[in-house]
Amino acid sequence: MVGVAEPPEFWAFIASNLLVLAAGTVLTVLSYRAYRRSRTLAFRTAAAGFGFITAGALAEAVYELGVRRSYHLGGRELLLLHTVEGILIGAGLMSLFYSLHRY
């Protein structure tokens, strides 16, 4: 369970994930607002890409702290988590590539 006596690495993990959440949310919202203003498909695809990247980057934190409620994961569990994370980030990067290519 998460407590005050957690190691500094834990709090660095939390801080870095909050930074990713903030930056990813801002980029996603800005891209979506640009889409709403211009009705350009590239901006909507970019918003989806930023959303996927943000979700992929946060997948580990959500699973460890929200679902499992522990940051002590086994090898297979960690490998599966990294696979899901990689798929989400890859889908986001492909969406960004597509949006830039089509713009």
Contacts (Cβ under 8 Å, ≥6 apart) of 38: none
Question: Is 1 among the domain residues?
Answer: no
Question: Is 89 among the domain residues?
Answer: yes
Question: Is 14 among the domain residues?
Answer: yes
Whole-angstrom Cα distance, residue 50 to residue 89?
9
Question: Is 96 among the domain residues?
Answer: yes
Whole-angstrom Cα distance, residue 72 to residue 63?
11
Q: What is the pLDDT of residues 1-48, one digit of tens each?
A: 555 678 899 899 999 999 999 999 999 999 999 999 999 999 999 999
Question: Is 2 among the domain residues?
Answer: no
Total structural domains within the chain: 1
Question: Is 30 among the domain residues?
Answer: yes
Question: Is 84 among the domain residues?
Answer: yes
Q: pTM of the prediction?
A: 0.85
| Domain range for 67 | 8-102
